[in-house]
Structure formats: C-alpha cells, structure tokens
Amino acid sequence: MIGGGQLARMTHQAAIPLGQSLRVLAESDSDPAALVARDVELGKHTDLDALRAFAKSCDVITFDHEHVPQEHLHALVADGVKVFPGPDALVHAQDKLVMRARLAELGAPVPPFSAVLETADVLRFGARHGWPCVLKAVRGGYDGRGVWMLNTPQSAQRVVPELLAAGTPLMVEQCVPMRRELSALVARSPFGQGAAWPLVETVQSDGICVEVLAPAPDAPVEEAQELALKIAGALGVVGLLAVELFDTAHGLVVNELAMRPHNSGHWTIEGARTSQFEQHLRAVLDYPLGATDLAAPAVVMANVLGAADVPEMGPDERLHHLFARFPDAHVHLYGKAERPGRKIGHVTLLGERMDDVRQRARLAAHWLSDGVWLDGYEIHGGQQ
Ligand code: ADP
C-alpha cells in the first residue's frame, strides 16, 4: 500500500488473518502504519524511483490516499505492475473536474458545474445558476480544505483571483440544497464481482465528517447502492469505492468519489460481517468478496478529533475511563499526535436503537478528544 496513514494501519490489521503482512511505502517511520507494520519502506509517493523499487517486491499495489501522480501510475503499469485501482479509474478520485464530466456523461446525478480559468467564469456561472455557488480546488483538497462557499459576486471577486494567481486549478458548481449527506460504499474485484454495504449517513461539522450512522435512517438504499455499483463498473474500479452523496428533495446527487477504504466505512470493522479493509484486500487480490450485512440493527462510528486544547488527562487515562463507562465501545487510535481538528482515532458502538447508540458514540468520542463528558457524567461518581 502506498501511504502509511491510518487507512494503511487498519488495512495491515485486516491482512494479518489472511496470512499476509501488508507492505507499506510510508513517508516517515512515525506514520500510523509504519508504527505497526513490519514490512515498511520509506519513500515519497511522488518519487518514481521509490515507487518502482517498492513495486518490485509487491504482488499488487494499492493506495492509502489518491496523491500518486498519474504519470507515475502509468509508468508502473507500463513496467507490468498490477496497480489497483488503475490510473484510468483513480483519476476520477484525483480530479474533481474529470470526475464531474465523466459522471455527467454516464447519466449519474451531478450538480451543474464548470471549469474556472478566470474570475469571469465564476461570475457567469453564478449569474446563470444563482448564488451561493461552491468553488473547489480540482485536485488535492480533503476534509473541506479546497472548498469555498461563494455567497455573492463580490466574494468571487475577492477569492478567485488570489487562488488562480497561486496556481490552484479551480472549478465551480451549484450549491446543492441538501437535507443530509450519505455515503454508498461498494467493492469491486477484477473478476467483476461487486458488493455493497448498507447505505450510511455521514454527519459533517466544518467540512469534517464527525459521525457515521449505519444504516442511514429512512434512505433510498437500493437506488444509492445501484448507483455506486454502476459507477464502480463503468469506471473499472478495483477495490473499494465510496460514493459521497447529497440527499435532496429531488433525489440523490453525487458529491465525490474515493477509491480506497474510506472514513465513512470505519464502522464496518465491528459493525458489518466483512470490514472495508478486509474487503479492499479481497478485491485487489481477486478473492471472492465477503458478506456486507450489518452485525447489529444500529451502528455508529464517531471520529476522535484532536481537541482545541489538548486535555491535561493523557490518552491512556481517557481510554481507561471510557471503558469503565462503556465496556462495549470499540476504540481505534491511530498513533498520531493530538493536534486541533486532526483525526486521531475513532470509536464505534453497536446496539438496538439508533438514537441511543448515537448518543453513546458522541459522548465516547468527545470524551476521548476533550476529556470532558458532554452529559456531565462524573468519572469518580459511580453509577449514572
Ligand atoms: P473534500 O474533498 O475536501 O472532502 P468535498 O467536495 O467533499 O471536499 O466538499 C466538502 C464539503 O463541502 C461536503 O461534505 C459538503 O458538506 C460541502 N459541499 C461540497 N460541495 C457542495 C455543493 N455542491 N453544494 C453544497 N455543499 C457542498
């Protein structure tokens, strides 16, 4: 796996019972996966020589992120390396404009969009489709960085020239009036087998996903699953595909694509029969895919984000108190330093009722982040 972040760390964990040990190309020996995997090589994903040397010892190459340049991916394929997903699929997760154009061509629901070469392109788009509109960096954004809400022509005139001058490739799209955000996670093998997990709701705050509810309450499950499988097949995806969706009054609209294990699928580790990490391995190794059913009626994953002020109580003691209160909480800490807003781990809870499970997951994640119980629970106060 190229990239040594938390996705590689959790993929390594899933590789172990399959009799494998994930080989990782990490940038630093303190990357989350490099801390736990035995088979780590250090090198940059932008260095073709490093990629080539790494690929020599791998049966198949896959990814923890989408930042390997297209030309390097094509060079690896030309060398005869199995790259899954391949560059022609992966480009749709790397380049938002390519993705929008291709999905529109496939007849998938996307908002009106346009390339931006000059500020006038945005002004014309806004005049035609209305304000606000959403300006996006075509490449390289994540967790809402690279997305700017433009409320007026004046805000476009303020924001766009500066970004263009800095060399940021831009696009603009309609601001979609959405009720909520959903994610359809599927896998596809080279053999062409597909598998879809139950549709989930992703709850966002400041552009970052904070909670995932599985299954998404009252959602158009089959429509979303069929759409995601259709996209996976049409683009020739091998491995996982997350289709981020907006739920609107007029149906589903695709936001973006990710072709790797995805934050909206972390709940599957304990909450589904097969985790997304194992499924990704099965898919890229061309094994038959695993069952995707829920392991409980309600599953909630909440991200643990670094607090604005790192709590005085250390992570170990927070974990201790968490387990004292919620013995059934499933915790995954990524071995990352605590920095404000950074995803440092996640916690998953399973149960019978969504509202109850969601409340417990939210309390647990906030406790692990901030060392504070949002409901005033007293850690030394005994029963609650
Ligand atoms: P990133 O690649 O940084 O995750 P996204 O394209 O997923 O960026 O956008 C981040 C967030 O911005 C989305 O989760 C959504 O809340 C909001 N957003 C993005 N595009 C639109 C849009 N067209 N209309 C309304 N909100 C949007």
Q: Which residue's entry shows tokens 């409320």? A: 151
pLDDT (tens digit per residue) in 244-295? 999 999 999 999 999 999 999 999 999 999 999 999 999 999 999 999 999 9
Mean model confidence pLDDT for the chain: 96
pLDDT (tens digit per residue) in 81-140? 999 999 999 999 999 999 999 999 999 999 999 999 999 999 999 999 999 999 999 998
Cα(234)–Cα(228) distance, rounded to whole angstroms?
10
Ligand 1 atom closest to the Cα of residue 144 is 3
Six token digits for residue 322: 């968490």
State whether the beta carbon of 11 lies less than 6 angstroms from ligand 1: no
What is the fold, at CATH topology level, of the domain defined by 178-370? D-amino Acid Aminotransferase; Chain A, domain 1 (3.30.470)
Cα(24)–Cα(375) distance, rounded to whole angstroms?
41
Whole-prediction pTM: 0.96
CATH code that applies to domain 6-83:
3.40.50.20
Handedness of CA 251, 256, 260, 263 (dihedral sign): negative
Pick the CATH number of 112-174 from 3.90.1300.10, 3.30.1490.20, 3.30.565.10, 3.40.50.2300: 3.30.1490.20
State whether the beta carbon of 256 lies less than 6 angstroms from ligand 1: yes
Res 45: pLDDT: 98
Cα end-to-end distance, the chain, whole Å? 45
pLDDT (tens digit per residue) in 283-334? 999 999 999 999 999 999 999 999 999 999 999 999 999 999 999 999 999 9
Q: Where are the domains of the chain?
A: 6-83, 112-174, 178-370
Per residue in 99-110, is it b (16+ CB within 10 Å) or e — as a string? bbbbbeeeebbb
pLDDT band at 380 (very low <50, low <70, confident <90, very high): confident
Cα(118)–Cα(123) distance, rounded to whole angstroms?
9
pLDDT (tens digit per residue) in 65-83? 999 999 999 999 999 999 9
State whether the beta carbon of 77 lies less than 6 angstroms from ligand 1: no
pLDDT band at 206 (very low <50, low <70, confident <90, very high): confident
State whether the beta carbon of 177 lies less than 6 angstroms from ligand 1: no
Cα(180)–Cα(182) distance, rounded to whole angstroms?
7
